[in-house]
């Protein structure tokens, strides 16, 4: 069922916030190892056709809004990715973070901001979950249970009583092609990543790991990746703009 692949660090000059295409694709169901210890898992065709039904998709997409606080994942600041009302803050005196992915606070702007991104976070403290707890738990249980069972079987993921089993938070990104970043705020290393296509125009997208020189083909509505996204930078290979519109990426993790 699986091949084993020992991960190796790869030196490169790619900066956080940049976009990169990685062509070294993983082609089989894979258990990644580090020092021959299981480190991550990829299954190409994992989910059944009906697990992402209309009610599940509605539940996942309903709380999505546009925000300007994601930093590196949203890419280097560009007027084309900002609301016009933010353009006035970009001039020769504008100060950025080291990667140019966030505008710093100044006397002219009372808050830092990044490029626009559409997303939502679900955890037990969010009003959306509090107000819809029973329906969310019921609708997402088949998905969450399937992820947790495979993770415990092959990666010895801990049994926990979080709202998503081993994970306590879910982020849903809409129409996002991620720039190079890592999830440095996560409290545990393991994350579960899924890519969906709402309009079925995007057959596959690629999750790149630039420091490992690996590209993971995420077949829409099918593939699962369990991996350390806290310590490993990652991004998406280029995605056609029209196909990107209907793309959702789901990431389960711990905060």
Cα angle value 70/75/78 (rounded, 5°): 105
CATH of domain 3-69+115-253: 3.60.130.30
Determine how β-strand 3-6 pairs with β-strand 30-34: parallel
Q: For the chain, give the mean pLDDT.
A: 96
Q: pLDDT for 203-228, tens place per residue? A: 999 999 999 999 999 999 999 999 99
DSSP H helix total and E strand total for the chain? 4, 12
At residue 1, the pLDDT reads 86
Residues in the chain: 255
Per-residue pLDDT tens digits for 136-180: 999 999 999 999 999 999 999 988 889 999 999 999 999 999 999
Say whether pLDDT at 32 is over 90. Answer: yes
Q: Domain spans of the chain? A: 3-69+115-253
Identify the CA nearest to 253 among candidates 135, 121, 152.
121
Starting at the edge strand found earlier in the chain, the sheet holding 235-236 runs 214-219, 204-209, 235-236
Q: Which residues contact 232 (CB under 8 A, 6 or more apart)?
A: 182, 209, 211, 212
pLDDT for residue 117 is more than 90: yes
Is the pTM above the cut of 0.75?
Answer: yes
């Amino acid at each position: 069922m699986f091949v084993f692949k020992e991960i190796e660090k790869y030196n490169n000059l790619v900066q956080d916030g940049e976009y990169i295409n990685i062509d070294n694709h993983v082609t089989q169901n894979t258990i990644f190892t580090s020092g021959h210890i299981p480190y991550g898992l990829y299954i190409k065709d994992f989910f059944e056709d009906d697990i992402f039904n209309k009610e599940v998709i509605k539940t996942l997409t309903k709380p999505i809004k546009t925000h300007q606080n994601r930093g590196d994942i949203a890419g280097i600041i560009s007027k084309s990715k900002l609301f016009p009302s933010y353009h006035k803050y970009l001039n020769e005196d504008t100060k950025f973070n080291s990667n140019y992915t966030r505008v710093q606070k100044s006397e002219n702007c009372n808050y830092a901001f990044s490029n626009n991104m559409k997303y939502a976070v679900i955890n037990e403290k969010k009003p959306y979950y509090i107000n819809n707890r029973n329906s969310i738990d019921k609708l997402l249980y088949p998905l969450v249970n399937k992820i947790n069972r495979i993770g415990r079987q092959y990666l010895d993921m801990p049994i926990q009583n979080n709202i998503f089993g081993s994970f306590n938070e879910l982020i849903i990104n809409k129409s996002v092609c991620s720039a190079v970043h890592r999830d440095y705020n996560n409290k545990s290393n393991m994350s579960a990543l899924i890519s969906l296509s709402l309009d079925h125009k995007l057959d596959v997208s690629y999750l790149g790991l630039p420091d490992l020189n690996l590209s993971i083909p995420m077949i829409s509505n099918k593939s699962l990746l369990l991996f350390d996204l806290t310590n490993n930078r990652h991004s998406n290979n280029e995605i056609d703009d029209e196909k990107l519109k209907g793309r959702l990426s789901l990431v389960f993790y711990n905060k």
